Chains A and B, each alone.
Chain A
Amino acid sequence: MPDAGTLSPKQPQTDPLVSSNDEQVEVHGPGKIAWKRFRRHRPGMIGLGILIILYAMAIFADFVAPYPYSDEERELNWAPPSSVRFSDANGSSFRPFIHPFRINIDENFNTVLEPDPSQRCYIRFLVEGEPYKLLGLIPMHTRLIGVDTVPSQQGGTRYFSRLYLMGADGGGRDIFSRICYGARVSMTIGLLGALLVLVIGLTIGGTSGYFGGWIDDVLQRLCEMVMLLPGFYLLLLLRFAFPASMDSVQVYFAVILILSLVGWAGFARVIRGMVLSIRKEDYVQAARAVGLSNGRIIARHILPNTMGYVVVATTLRIPGYILGESALSLLGLGIMEPTPSWGNMLNRAMDILELNQHPWVLWPGVFIFAAIMAFNLVGDGLRDAVDPRGLTK
């Protein structure tokens, strides 16, 4: 065993290795360097900002959304977006307000929904609303935004004071509120799906690449089989493997499982390729030479060096899973009503007539677009940031 005698730290050294100008600099780990580079990538930072907003919206949906997602007002079906005003015929106001809705019966006995310009309902912030539990723990009833109420019956006409920032759906539910709650499904399903793919891909790709031989052959043929099937068919196929009627929590996890079963193969293949090349690096040989076990070599020396790629690939894969969930939900095979997801909210937009009359049902699509773009921007930024060629500079 190394004898302390020859390894005495007191031993004087005569070998200056750093010239006098080499001031003590702070330690730059690979992660820190990547973050410094990422911060200089403007589109990436914009994407990151969008993602932070979207995730904050999902986590604090109860607080941000004016109404609970299932809060209906059937009479206000397809109500258009409320126009927020600062002035009307009665003069202007510093505080934003809306006109309450009024329901009239016209000469053909159709109900007509229109704003009543003679009344004002002021928009208020941090108002009392339906009770909820913040983060599922803290009971609260303050909501970010709300609107004054008006008496609902005024001389035979019914009045409604509801804030529909992005209009209402066929059940009179506030689309903005449902988008906030839907973000919980859509923004996490992609993330969890990608993380599951990460675990499966790293395990299978890592094993396949490190051990090689027949293990590699078997696992690679399996990958090829999965990759041969067109993704969307596989998605549908796997969906039918699950019972048709499940509650929304079950469906949520089923969809995650389905997405990752479709996605792991391509990822595992790339990991395998990387492991094959990292395995030949001298530091892996050195690790074997000092007598480390295979498990430790894979976990400490090989997989961490795929991290750069893994982070980028995972970020760039999330949009695909968001779209996958949307597609399933759009077809009515994913998250079920009344639980909102961006995908199932778009379901109604499939009917061109409805779309024509109520174009605001497309709002969830705008959010899907924003989320996907944000993930792609962040992914591009990360790719530049973890580029190994930059690491040594």
Chain B
Amino acid sequence: MPDPLLAIKDLNVAFDTERGQIRPVRDVSIDIYPGQIVALVGESGCGKSVTALSILRLIPQPPGKILSGSVSMEGRNLLELPEKEMRSVRGKDIAMIFQEPMTSLNPVYTIGDQITETVKLHQRVRNTEAVRIAEDALKDVGIADPRRRLNEYPHQMSGGMRQRVMIAMALSCQPKLLIADEPTTALDVTIQAQILELLRKLQREKGMSILLITHDLGVVAENADVVAVMYASRVVEFAGVEDLFDRPQHPYTEGLFRAVPKLGDLRSRLEQIPGTVPNPARFPGGCKFHPRCHRSRMLAQEARGEDAVEITSAGEKFRVLNRCVKEEPELREVEPAHWARCHQLPQYDRAPVTIPKLEHRREVNSQAVEEGDIEKIIKQEIHA
């Protein structure tokens, strides 16, 4: 197995708030191999964005602080680098694009100014050379007439165009890793399709790795090689994308898959995960998912008296397994190359605690057609 490009190990992050300390990231370990797309999936407040920002040491300190763990890249621990060296890592080795292309670009500078600034920060080039690199970068992301666009201001562009510019800027220094934090959430579906297609193409051509942070299971399924599902600051499941979608192990992952309406299933009742996404200031004890867990509830019905315990959640009383309330499960390799954090898996007690590492690539890449007989294709394939 080759060495990972980036290895996050046992990362713990804390924030001091008015109501005391919260821990948005707990014991997160993720490896990213060269040329791999790793997806970090989860709902709001699960800690996925804080994890990404911690890699680049971009969380505001204070109130945030990195309690423990390491982020190694090419033999260096990024968390211990002096700030000056860290600045050269940001943008050059690891670049990041954000959800909101509107606020990530400075409105008072032209697109050209902003890209050339990044280029000159990390590469010793002359002005004319920097402009040429910027022009190429815009061409790479599919912007027509790049020379003219260089002199435009962000407000003159649409949301999709701005996101392309952000990607161009991020890629102008040929980073080895791109962190994409909800890159398409603010965009329309047809534009989202364009941007994801572009990211995949660039990733293949340049051989870089992508850490894709998203809440959209469709985006994950169609783009990721390896997926880490986060819930309540922890990685609760980690597996290759096919493995995860075929055989989800954690009840949360399972519930998410069933709760999302899919094209084609009409007006059936959706399955739902009860309860609310937990507030990081008030996580429940034991397994963080137990107040919402269908598996624990179901097993409690069959369990003997002392193995189950009654809990109250918004006026509703129900029984869950005692172990889920009392003891927090570990992330264990419950199947080969498949990690999950749930006591109630039959294999859990025998499964080893190993660091999740997966040098896996997806089997099928989605294909895009731009022209051609799309009417026929749609009929064929939607029906299939």
Bound CA span A37–B292, Å: 34
Measured between beta carbons, the chain A residues less than 8 angstroms from B275 are 16-19
- Interface flags, B251-274, vs A, CB<8A=1, else 0: 000000000000000000000001
A17 and B276 within 8 A (CB): yes
Bound CA span A280–B315, Å: 36
Measured between beta carbons, the chain B residues less than 8 angstroms from A13 are 315-316
B278 in the interface (beta carbon within 8 A):
yes
Measured between beta carbons, the chain A residues less than 8 angstroms from B284 are 19-21
A282 in the interface (beta carbon within 8 A):
no
B315 and A16 within 8 A (CB): yes
Select the stretch in B33-41, B163-171, B234-242, B306-314 that faces chain A.
B306-314
Measured between beta carbons, the chain B residues less than 8 angstroms from A351 are none
A16 and B291 within 8 A (CB): yes
The listed residue (A19, A37, A393) touching B313 by CB distance below 8 A is A19
A106 in the interface (beta carbon within 8 A):
no
B367 in the interface (beta carbon within 8 A):
no
- Interface flags, A351-393, vs B, CB<8A=1, else 0: 0000000000000000000000000000000000000000001
Measured between beta carbons, the chain A residues less than 8 angstroms from B313 are 16-20, 22
The listed residue (A15, A37, A393) touching B314 by CB distance below 8 A is A15
A154 in the interface (beta carbon within 8 A):
no
Report if A21-B274 is in contact (Cβ < 8 Å); known contacts: A13-B315, A15-B316.
Answer: no
Bound CA span A124–B31, Å: 80
Most B-side CB within 10 Å, residue of A13, A14, A20, A393 = A20
Measured between beta carbons, the chain A residues less than 8 angstroms from B291 are 16, 19-21
Measured between beta carbons, the chain B residues less than 8 angstroms from A17 are 275-276, 313-314
B352 in the interface (beta carbon within 8 A):
no
Measured between beta carbons, the chain B residues less than 8 angstroms from A15 are 274, 314, 316
- Interface flags, B288-323, vs A, CB<8A=1, else 0: 000110000000000000000001111110100000
Interface residues of B in 272-287 (CB under 8 A from A): 274-276, 278, 282-285
Bound CA span A164–B313, Å: 70
B381 in the interface (beta carbon within 8 A):
no
B246 in the interface (beta carbon within 8 A):
no
Measured between beta carbons, the chain A residues less than 8 angstroms from B292 are 16, 19
A20 and B312 within 8 A (CB): yes
A21 and B314 within 8 A (CB): no
Give the shortest distance, in Å, between A24 (CB) and chain B (any CB).
11
B190 in the interface (beta carbon within 8 A):
no
B17 in the interface (beta carbon within 8 A):
yes
Bound CA span A140–B36, Å: 87
B370 in the interface (beta carbon within 8 A):
no
Interface residues of A in 1-55 (CB under 8 A from B): 13-22, 37
> Which residue of chain A lies nearest to B288 when distances are taken between CB atoms in the complex?
A19
Bound CA span A29–B312, Å: 26
B274 and A393 within 8 A (CB): no
Give the shortest distance, in Å, between A324 (CB) and chain B (any CB).
38
Give the shortest distance, in Å, between B316 (CB) and chain A (any CB).
4
Give the shortest distance, in Å, between B210 (CB) and chain A (any CB).
32
Measured between beta carbons, the chain A residues less than 8 angstroms from B283 are 21
Bound CA span A87–B2, Å: 89
Bound CA span A21–B313, Å: 8
B375 in the interface (beta carbon within 8 A):
no
B18 in the interface (beta carbon within 8 A):
yes
The bracket for how many chain A residues form the interface is 10 to 19
The bracket for how many chain B residues form the interface is 10 to 19
Measured between beta carbons, the chain B residues less than 8 angstroms from A14 are 274, 316
Bound CA span A236–B162, Å: 55
B17 and A22 within 8 A (CB): no
Measured between beta carbons, the chain A residues less than 8 angstroms from B278 are 19
Give the shortest distance, in Å, between A326 (CB) and chain B (any CB).
40
Give the shortest distance, in Å, between A155 (CB) and chain B (any CB).
72
Bound CA span A16–B285, Å: 17
Report if A16-B316 is in contact (Cβ < 8 Å); known contacts: A21-B282, A21-B285.
Answer: yes
Report if A18-B285 is in contact (Cβ < 8 Å); known contacts: A13-B315, A13-B316, A393-B18.
Answer: no
Measured between beta carbons, the chain A residues less than 8 angstroms from B318 are 16
- Interface flags, B75-104, vs A, CB<8A=1, else 0: 000000000000000000000000000000
B18 and A18 within 8 A (CB): no
Interface residues of B in 42-92 (CB under 8 A from A): none
Report if A19-B316 is in contact (Cβ < 8 Å); known contacts: A393-B17, A393-B18.
Answer: no
Bound CA span A22–B275, Å: 11
Bound CA span A15–B273, Å: 10
Bound CA span A393–B18, Å: 8
A22 and B311 within 8 A (CB): no
Give the shortest distance, in Å, between A332 (CB) and chain B (any CB).
51
Bound CA span A21–B314, Å: 10
> Which residue of chain A lies nearest to B274 when distances are taken between CB atoms in the complex?
A16
> Which residue of chain A lies nearest to B318 when distances are taken between CB atoms in the complex?
A16
Interface residues of A in 125-148 (CB under 8 A from B): none
Measured between beta carbons, the chain A residues less than 8 angstroms from B274 are 14-16
Bound CA span A20–B276, Å: 11
Give the shortest distance, in Å, between B313 (CB) and chain A (any CB).
3
Bound CA span A326–B280, Å: 53
Give the shortest distance, in Å, between B287 (CB) and chain A (any CB).
12
Bound CA span A18–B275, Å: 6
- Interface flags, B12-35, vs A, CB<8A=1, else 0: 000001100000000000000000
A residues with CB within 8 A of B: 13-22, 37, 393
CB-defined A-B contacts under 8 Å, sample of 24: A13-B315, A15-B314, A16-B274, A16-B275, A16-B292, A16-B313, A16-B314, A16-B315, A16-B316, A17-B275, A17-B276, A17-B314, A18-B275, A18-B313, A19-B275, A19-B278, A19-B284, A19-B313, A20-B284, A20-B312, A20-B313, A21-B283, A22-B282, A22-B313
Known: A18-B275, A19-B275, A21-B282. 16 other contacts (CB 8 A): A14-B316, A15-B274, A15-B314, A16-B291, A16-B315, A18-B276, A18-B314, A19-B276, A19-B291, A20-B284, A20-B312, A20-B313, A21-B285, A21-B291, A22-B313, A393-B17
